[in-house]
Amino acid sequence: MKLKKSTINNLISYGVVIVAFIVCQAMISSGAMSRSLKGQMVPICVYIVMAISLNLVVGISGELSLGHAGFMSIGAFSAIIGAAWLRAALGIENEILLLVLSMIVGGAFAGIFGVLIGIPVLRLRGDYLAIVTLAFGEIIRNVLNCLYFSLEGSRLHVSFNNPSIPGTILLNGPNGAKDVAKIATFPVGFVLILFTLFVVMNLVNSRSGRAIMASRDNRIAAEAMGINVTKYKMMAFVTAAVLAGMAGALYGLNFSTVAASKFKFDTSILVLVFVVLGGIGNIWGSIIAATLLTVLPELLRAFADYRMLVYAIVLILVMLATNNPFIRSLFDRLIHRGRSAQTQRGGAAE
Amino acid sequence: MVSFLRFLINGISLGSVYAIIALGYTMVYGIAKMLNFAHGDVIMVGAYIAFCAMQYLGLPPLVAVLAAMVFCTVLGMVIEGLAYRPLRQATKLAVLITAIGVSYLLQNTALLIWSSNPKVFPSVFNIGTIRLFDGNLVISSETILTIVANIVIMIALTLFTGRTKMGKAMRAVSEDRGAAELMGINVNRTISLTFAIGSALAAIAGVLLCSAYPTLQPTTGSMPGIKAFTAAVFGGIGSIPGAMIGGLLLGIIEILGKAYISTELGDALVFAVLIVVLLFKPAGLLGKPMREKV
């Protein structure tokens, strides 16, 4: 049987992720992992999925998005409400099933908002597009701060800017959700990473993926070839939104209290940093950067107060180093020794 | 009616601060084509320097503002020289991430020096208030000063970019960097000057902002920074009068929205208006639409 090159690459990727998962599981069960790091496992999964999905927008589709945390928050809160409702109305008690269903709910809602936001956003170009995604992220956070949800039996009550609603409060405006059932688990997070890889890699290697990349590289040329640029950009944007919503669902169900202030502009930027440091358009780079940078503040515990300062300095130095022509050519020579220099790099939102 | 006037004046005052910050954003964007996310934090540094000069050194307010301006000017030039200049040829995103790194650096340095406890900014310019409509409408001196400062800065900048040699060099570089270089303009020095002016304006904005909203924290600059950036885009990024109009409109919309619609949704309203404007005028109110060539 002869496999396509992209299929082999995909299989290798899944294999590496599975091995990494088995190693982590072994470390957890043998007690070799510190408590604080163990608590980081689900957030790491969440940020990996966030980074891969943002990479789809920034790297593959070439549009700078500064509001990715907005989709994450929609996913988180719809999943929290969905989980509570599913438990009350349908009597689902199996936690894995509940988690998967609420992740689907989170992804679906984020996807709907992805379509609604994508329609105006994708009409714009460049920095204007970036600022509008930022604006949408802030609007989502502000509106979530005014929303109140409660559950009375199996009936869901919603109110806007009015905290007095009957039943047990699920989402309490600016205070966010309290007493959330912590049903998120690391294995489910791992499955979500596999699912994300599956979706994104298959999308990139498909006809649609090539159309998306063609629109990124030269919009006018792609249009002249008969590619419906808006449609394909929308496809990338909404896929990323759905994945971010599912990641948000996992994140929301991992903590007992979740407030909208957790999904600030800073969170969007954090994910963008993962994408850029990992290499724009490079999925593996996103995974590694997301893992390292989520663990890094943990490892820098020894520096205590200087932790974020060191983080900032590392960030600046890495950007300066990777963009230094001398260091860059050095790297190129090291990596592509003998091989013809690989000119094809992932394009960027330029 | 009187309350509407009061909100309007507050809006103009807040908008003036946004406009001054937005000028820094828009000038830097126009000339270096980069989104300088660290600009908001320069505001915060300026406010802290002015605070320290007044509180610990006992300097008079005007001297303190001058000290803050000098400090921020140097800071802006140092940031530009160390962090942004090596990235002149790099992709836009690389510069953006570096700017975010600088922003984190400034915030966390401030956190180490001044701690996260909010400082209460002293009332700087208390020269009395104006009372109109039988004392129903009270305009504080800070408000008047902010608006006056805004007008003065606007006129000065327009004259500077229009009349002086350095100003013309700035416009030339923002129009076409390569051609400007061929005409013998020192591009690096011009960009450095832009950062200097922008940062000095940020210091003024910081003091004005903190005299109106007197809590000073290491994160004080970030939200006004984002709003001012929005204002710059709103008016058409790269355009100086655009930043002015964008800032003023944004301030007015925010205050009126908070007063008449919902306190929580004031910010959301600002961003919603931005989105609507950009949908109809994709390059902002005064921005020139870019022609794409094949």
* Residues counted in chain B: 294
Q: b/e for B98-112, b at 16 or more Cβ within 10 A? A: bbbbbbbbbbbbbbe
**pLDDT for residue B37 is more than 90:** no
* A93 three-state secondary structure: coil
A15 shares contact with chain B (CB less than 8 Å)? no
Instruction: Give yes or no for residue A166 having a pLDDT over 80.
Output: no
Instruction: Report CA-CA distances (Å) from A75 to A80, A113, A286, B106, B264.
Output: 9, 10, 21, 32, 22
Residues of A whose CB is below 8 A from B109: 309
Report chain B residues whose CB lies below 8 A from the CB of A134: 226, 230, 271
**Model confidence at B262: pLDDT above 70:** yes
Size of interface A-B (CB pairs under 8 A): 134
B233 contact A CB<8A: yes
Using alpha carbons, select from B240, B210, B225 the residue that is nearest to residue B114.
Answer: B210
Question: Residue B95: pLDDT band by 50, 70, 90 thresholds?
Answer: confident
A315 touches chain B (CB under 8 A): yes
User: How far is the C-alpha of A120 from the C-alpha of A115, rounded, in Å?
Assistant: 9
Pair B36, B95: CB distance under 8 Å = no
Pick from B91, B222, B279: CB nearest A348: B91
Tens-digit pLDDT profile for residues A267-289: 888 888 888 888 888 888 889 98
With a cut of 90, say whether residue B177 has pLDDT above it. no
pLDDT at B84 over 80: yes
The whole-number pLDDT of residue A55 equals: 92
| Angle at alpha carbon of residue B95, lines to B91 and B99, rounded to 5° | 165
pLDDT at A238 over 90: yes
Over range A8-16, report the average pLDDT: 85
**Is any Cβ of chain A less than 8 angstroms from the Cβ of B278?**
yes
Q: What tokens were used for A332?
A: 């190129």
Neighbours of B83 (CB within 10 A): 20
Model confidence at A93, pLDDT cuts 50, 70, 90, reads confident
What are the Cα distances from residue A131, in Å, to A68, A104, A134?
Answer: 12, 29, 5
Q: Which of residues 87-116 of A touch B (CB under 8 A)?
A: none
What residue segments make up the domains of chain A, in order of their start?
5-28+40-335
Query: What number of other Cβ atoms are within 10 A of residue B289's Cβ?
Result: 10
Tell which B residues from 51 to 90 touch A, by Cβ distance under 8 Å.
Answer: 83, 86-87, 89-90
Q: Who contacts A102 (Cβ-Cβ below 8 Å, separation ≥6)?
A: A79, A80, A82, A83, A86, A249, A253
Quote the CA–CA distance of A307 and A172 in Å, as a whole number: 33
Greater pLDDT, B178 or A303? B178
Report d(CA A336, CA B110) in Å as an integer: 43
Residue A68 · residue A50 · CB < 8 Å: yes
DSSP codes, A290-301: HHHHHHHHHHGG
> Which of A320, A324, A328, A329 to probe the B interface (max B CBs under 10 A)?
A320
Place of tokens 């963008």: A272
Q: Which of B102, B262, B275 sits opposite A316 (nearest CB)?
A: B102
Check whether B73 has a pLDDT greater than 90: yes
Give the residue-averaged pLDDT of B68-84.
Answer: 91
* CA A310 centroid distance within chain: 25
Q: Residue B294 pLDDT > 60, yes or no?
A: no
Closest CB to A135 among B109, B265, B275? B275
* Whole-number pLDDT of residue A304: 64
Percent of chain A's residues with pLDDT above 70: 93
Instruction: Identify the pLDDT of residue A1.
Output: 60
- Please tell me the predicted confidence (pLDDT) of residue B289: 65
pLDDT of residue A75: 92
Query: At residue A203, what is the residue type?
Result: L
**pLDDT of residue A46 exceeding 80:** yes
- B237 close to A (CB below 8 A): yes
Q: Is B116 on the interface with A (CB under 8 A)?
A: no
Helix (H) or strand (E) holding A199: helix A186-204
Beta bridge partner(s), residue A149:
A158, A171
Q: Computed from CA positions of residues A107, A110, A111, A112, in that sequence, does the dihedral angle turn out positive or negative?
A: positive
B114 CB near a chain A CB, below 8 Å? Answer: no
Q: Mean pLDDT, to the nearest integer, of A37-44? A: 84
A258 by DSSP, 3-state: which? strand
| CA-based nearest distance B214→chain A, Å | 23
φ, ψ for residue A197, nearest 5 deg? -60, -45
Closest among B183, B244, B186 to B31, alpha carbons compared: B186
Contacts of B282 in chain A (CB under 8 A): 123-125, 128
* CB of B188 closer than 8 Å to CB of B89: no
Q: How far B293 CA lies from chain A's nearest CA (Å)?
A: 9
Using an 8 Å CB-CB cutoff, list chain B residues near A268: none
d(CA B71, CA B269): 35
Going by C-beta distance under 8 Å and a sequence separation of 6 or more, which residues neighbour residue B148?
A: none
Residue A178 or A199, more confident: A199
Listed by number, the residues of chain A in 30-89 with a beta carbon closer than 8 Å to a beta carbon of chain B are 58, 64
Q: How far is A311 from chain B (nearest CA, A)?
A: 8
Gap from A312 CA to chain B (nearest CA, Å): 5
Residue extents of the structural domains in chain B = 13-224
Q: Do A323 and B87 touch (CB under 8 A)?
A: yes
Q: What is the pLDDT of residue B267?
A: 82
How many CA atoms, within 13 angstroms, populate the side-chain half-sphere of residue A250?
A: 26
User: Is A142 in Cβ contact with B268 (below 8 Å)?
Assistant: yes
Query: Do the beta carbons of residue A55 and residue A286 sit within 8 Å?
Result: yes
